[in-house]
Structure 1
Amino acid sequence: MSRPLGLSVVEITLTISIVSILAILGLPFATTFETERRFDVSVQELLYTLRRAQGRAFAGEAGSSFGVHLVTGTGTSFTMFRGATFAGRDQVFDEVYDLPGTVTLTKVIVGGDDVVFSPPRGKTPNGGEIILTGSAGESRQVIVNAEGKVEVE
């Protein structure tokens, strides 16, 4: 007697059960990974924006200062602007970057809400720390010194 070809209901049910259990066990790791990735991308985006503002001031673009305006809180944003102050900026050149809801700009210690780089050297009179915190409790400091050096700790 020959054995029938194909899968039995028991084999199919067992396979689906094993795959479902593995997927359920892996889901928390996938969401944690995505949250951490969004946090890292947000830190790098802020770092890149600060360096771009400094580079534009250093290059003397339009003979103007460039800066980054920071808004503290959850799911907020930061804006790169052209001008000596955010209030007196040329809004046409604004570049707004929204932070995801899982990232909080917790503290800005730069002598105000703006980091402004002045031509021709790209220095800033208001260096300090910008602290970002993720929903999983991770935290990073973006440090800007008076010479305009921008780095992450």
Structure 2
Amino acid sequence: MKKGFTLFEILLVVAIIGIMAALVPVAYVRLFTDTSVDTAIKTYKTTVRRAQTLALSGEGGDGWGVYITTGSATIFKGGSYAGRDTSFDEVYETSGSVVVSGIQEVTFEKITG
């Protein structure tokens, strides 16, 4: 009896390798996208919490806010992003592959009373 592989066995192995090679890039892209979204969400959440903390503590004697765009979140001092004091801006970069829509500006007033 001769030792070796049959044509069927070789074709079966090549087909399995081909299927695996087709699925790995899809899984990698999905993993990368999920990671980008999670990182962006954490960044946006952290910046909103920081702006809230700055406003609650009365830092700078004014309100604070966050302006969220695709690719970044900016913590600003003032009642609005348009009327802010740019010297207090803190910019946090996020993945440009995550597109932001909806509310872009969140503001917190300083505590009075």
Say whether residues 1:63 and 2:61 are aligned partners.
Answer: yes
Q: Does the C-alpha gap of structure 1 residues 34 and 66 become closer, same or farther in structure 2, counting only changes over 3 Å?
A: same
Query: What is the aligned partner in structure 2 of residue 93 from structure 1?
Result: 88
Counterpart contact for 2:43–2:94, Cα < 8 Å: no
The residue that corresponds to 1:50 in the other structure is: 48
Asked which structure has the greater RCO (Cα within 8 Å, sep 6+), the reply is 2
**Which residue of 2 is the match for residue 26 of structure 1?**
24
Distance in 2 (CA, whole Å) between partners of 1:21 and 1:78 is 41
Partner of 1:106: 101
SS in 1 for 2:87: helix
Name the structure 2 match of 1:8: none
**1:118 lines up with 2:109 in the alignment:** yes
Count of residues in Structure 1 that have an aligned counterpart in Structure 2 = 99
Paired residue type of 1:86: Y
The CA deviation at 1:63 is 1.2
2:44/2:68 contact within 8 Å kept: no
| Letter matched to residue 67 of structure 2 | H
State the identity %.
35
* SS of 1:116 mapped into structure 2: strand
- Post-superposition shift, 1:99? 3.9
TM-score scaled to structure 2, two decimals? 0.71
In structure 2, the residue matched to 1:128 is none
Q: Aligned letter for 1:103?
A: V
The aligned amino acid for 2:106 is V
How far apart are residue 98 of structure 1 and its match? 3.7
2:102 alignment partner, SS class: strand
Task: Compute the TM-score of the two structures, normalised by the length of structure 1.
Answer: 0.54
**Per the alignment, in what secondary structure is the counterpart of residue 104 of structure 1?**
coil
The 10-residue stretch of structure 1 (27-36 or 75-84) with the greater mean CA deviation from structure 2: 75-84
The CA RMSD over aligned residues, in Å, is: 2.6
